[in-house]
Amino acid sequence: MDFNNAVEIAQNIYWVGSYLENDSFQCLPYLIENGNESILIDPGSMLEFEEVMRKTQEITELSNIKYIILHHQDPDLVASVPEIEKLINRDDLQIVTHSRMTDLIKHYGITLSYYEIDKNNLELVTTNGLKLQFLTTPYCHSPGAFVSYEPKTKVLFSSDIFGGLEESWDFYAKEDYFELAKEFHRAYMPSKDIFNYALRKIEQLDINLIAPQHGSLIKRALIPQLIEDMKNLECGLYINEKYNNELIDTIAQLKKKDKELEEKNSLMNMLLNTTMEAIVIVDEKYNILQVNKAALDMFQTSIEEVLLCNMFDFVPQKELAKVQKAQEQNIVLPYEIKIYKKDKTIFPALVQGGDVMINDKIYRVGTIIDLTEIKQKERQDFQQSKLAQMGEMISMIAHQWRQSLNAISASSINLSMLSEMGMLEDAKVQESSKFIQNQCQVMSKTIDTFMNFVKPANESKEFLLQDMIDKLCR
């Protein structure tokens, strides 16, 4: 094959590289001829600059190139671009690449604008309908690495993926190409897992030809088996036994720590959810971070809803000052307040909390007890006690009245008997009437005494205990 001229590898797609004898690191730039929107792909370093420009001009004028695709930022791919930029001398010339690489590419002194694939739906469509699709292949071998696919010809421009190191270079790969490519991939792909992520994307494409940046072009017949061989290749960290063992050991330790942490979290959740008290954990701004099941039942809400709330969302306005004071003074003794449920129903609660510091951050852990049932029981007990006291008071009043009623009854019977015997005198009537009135006054004073006893006093004053005893003993 004549490498002195451009080689058409598919319709309107050309290899425009330079064959470097006795160099295992062959760089393969490509050109897609597309009128005045032609595309140059991975043009290479200054070692190939003159050859690449000469072969490109065999196909089209340099001024027809509108796009330069750069699959990554390495000098063997990018170094010649500043000089190419000067030769093309076109205001709308753009670098097509990933946004993760623009900050690095600019250090070559390139002044062109960028067409960032990740901000353009991973595709490029020219005005005459040529379309390129881009697949991101992160860390193979650059964070912003990608490959380009031309669906009409089914050519994949694969950058470093499928590249090879060959001292006796073949333009098209032979059946033993994997043996030539594997050493390159073992060194340049970061790990088997990352490499397989890229390969799984690529194998979904219908590919007639793979055009890598290095090595040989790969025709359709060799592609499926080559992908399978690449999938099983140990590369990156895995090829060094020491690194591999360290990595495996690190992964095992991380899994062990994850399991221990999961067990601790499970135990903690069990402890939180078996207590009858509601537990609420908040940050320094009182945003709710975690609650237990008792808290969800108490507030009648869900975990998703409560984690969007602040602690003060559940505190009525009248209670805010009391709660804020407790927070500011870090009061750890329990105190009683009113609290909202989700539906704004208010209930009495006993709360207690304290600050803890974890990893230089302050958290507050609060416990809440619903006092609704306790308050109801207190009211019931108070009512029963009140009724019992009233019964005792009525019994004591009856005892006091019974003496006066007996005296009144006896005086009345005596008057009746004197009247029947004709011995009733006015003086006796007056005496009995006065006696009865005195007894009625005693009964009235008895009522007053008991009323004063149960009526709360507005002010305190001194009294003689003996006077109270004398009154009670009359």
Buried b (16+ CB within 10 A) or exposed e, 408-441: beebeeebeeeeeeeebeeeeeeebeeebeebee
pLDDT for 454 equals: 60
- pLDDT cut 70: percent of the chain above it: 90
Q: How far apart are the first and last CA of the chain?
A: 140
pLDDT for 362 equals: 80
pTM of the entire predicted model? 0.55
DSSP result, 408-449:
HHHHHHHHHHHHHTT---HHHHHHHHHHHHHHHHHHHHHHHH
Most confidently predicted of 176-180, 228-232, 432-436, 456-460? 228-232
Confidence bin at 453 (pLDDT 50/70/90)? low
398-410 average pLDDT score: 74
* Selected residue with higher pLDDT from 318 and 79: 79
Tokens describing residue 419: 């009247």
Q: Is the pLDDT confidence value at 69 over 80?
A: yes
Report how far residue 428's alpha carbon sits from residue 415's, in angstroms, rounded to the nearest whole number: 8
pLDDT for 455 equals: 63
Task: Sort 264 into a burial class: Cβ within 10 Å, 0-12 / 13-18 / 19+.
Answer: exposed
Report how far residue 139's alpha carbon sits from residue 418's, in angstroms, rounded to the nearest whole number: 129
pLDDT digits (tens, 9 = 90+) for 166-184: 665 788 999 999 988 888 8
Whether 194 and 206 have beta carbons less than 8 Å apart is answered as: no
pLDDT for 245 equals: 66
Confidence bin at 119 (pLDDT 50/70/90)? very high
The verdict on whether omega for the bond into residue 71 sits within 30 degrees of 0, i.e. cis, is no
* Selected residue with higher pLDDT from 451 and 14: 14
In the β-sheet with 146-150, what is the strand arrangement from edge to edge?
A: 123-125, 131-136, 146-150, 155-159, 209-212, 218-219
Confidence bin at 335 (pLDDT 50/70/90)? confident
pLDDT for 474 equals: 60
Report how far residue 202's alpha carbon sits from residue 133's, in angstroms, rounded to the nearest whole number: 12
- Cα distances from 222 to residues 91, 178, 261, in angstroms, run 42, 10, 48
Chain-wide mean pLDDT for the chain? 84
96-105, 136-145, 338-347: least confident range: 338-347
Of the candidates 110, 6, 8, which has an alpha carbon nearest to the alpha carbon of residue 52? 6
pLDDT digits (tens, 9 = 90+) for 87-114: 999 999 999 999 999 989 999 999 999 9
Report how far residue 261's alpha carbon sits from residue 424's, in angstroms, rounded to the nearest whole number: 106
Position 257: which residue type?
K
402-419 average pLDDT score: 76
Report how far residue 367's alpha carbon sits from residue 136's, in angstroms, rounded to the nearest whole number: 51
Of the candidates 113, 112, 117, 115, which has an alpha carbon nearest to the alpha carbon of residue 87? 112
Of the candidates 381, 396, 404, 371, which has an alpha carbon nearest to the alpha carbon of residue 454? 396
Strands 113-116 vs 123-125: parallel, antiparallel or unpaired: unpaired
> How many other CB atoms are found less than 10 A from the CB of residue 62?
15
418-430 average pLDDT score: 77
pLDDT for 230 equals: 94
79-83 average pLDDT score: 95
* Selected residue with higher pLDDT from 63 and 379: 63
- Cα distances from 277 to residues 268, 273, 293, 306, in angstroms, run 15, 9, 9, 17
Tokens describing residue 182: 């594997």
Whether 157 and 148 have beta carbons less than 8 Å apart is answered as: yes
* Selected residue with higher pLDDT from 449 and 363: 363
pLDDT for 158 equals: 96
pLDDT digits (tens, 9 = 90+) for 241-268: 666 666 667 777 878 888 877 777 676 6
List of residues 6+ apart from 66 with CB closer than 8 A: 36, 37, 38, 39, 90, 92, 93, 94, 126
Can you say how many angstroms the Cα of residue 383 is from the centroid of all Cα atoms in its chain?
A: 51
* Selected residue with higher pLDDT from 318 and 207: 207
